[in-house]
A = this chain, B = another copy of it.
Amino acid sequence: MCFSSHCECPGFRVERFLQPCLLLCLAIRSSHGYELMERLKHFLLEDESPDPGLVYRTLRKMEEDGWVSSEWVTEASGPAKRIYTLTGEGKTVLRLWAEHVRRQVLRLQRFLEEYEKLQREGEHHG
């Protein structure tokens, strides 16, 4: 069993939360994949870092779905960057995600409540 850095708890892997974090980052300001990987760390836990493959694929998928749009920028130094910008539809999706996340927080808190209730009961009898 390994529960520290690479834990067996499957529910909340980084990637599952990647989409809304990308949308939020882009809502704050337009950005490209490589930069987003850095900006995403704000939403991750200490040791985590986002998978580049997944970041780029998720951005492409969201563009396909019309949630973001992109354009190449070659003026700056270094390799060309694909700058992503949130669309109106993307803003809607982000709002829905936020509502979804709020409900999930309540759900997780209900779980913790029940767990802590059980702990207290255990103390009383033990």
Contact = CB atoms under 8 A, between A and B. Distances in A.
A3 interface: yes
A118 B24 contact: yes
- Provide the main secondary structure of the chain A interface: helix
A21 B111 CA distance: 7
A77 to B, nearest CB: 30
Interface stretch (A30-38, A49-57, A68-76, A92-100): A92-100
Given A43-B107, A109-B105, A17 B11 contact: yes
| Residues of A in contact with B, size category | 35 or more
Given A107-B43, A118-B27, A101 B96 contact: no
Contacts of A89: 1
Interface string A85-126: 000010001101110111111011111101100100000000
Interface of A: 1, 3, 7-12, 16-17, 19-21, 24, 27-28, 42-45, 89, 93-94, 96-98, 100-105, 107-112, 114-115, 118
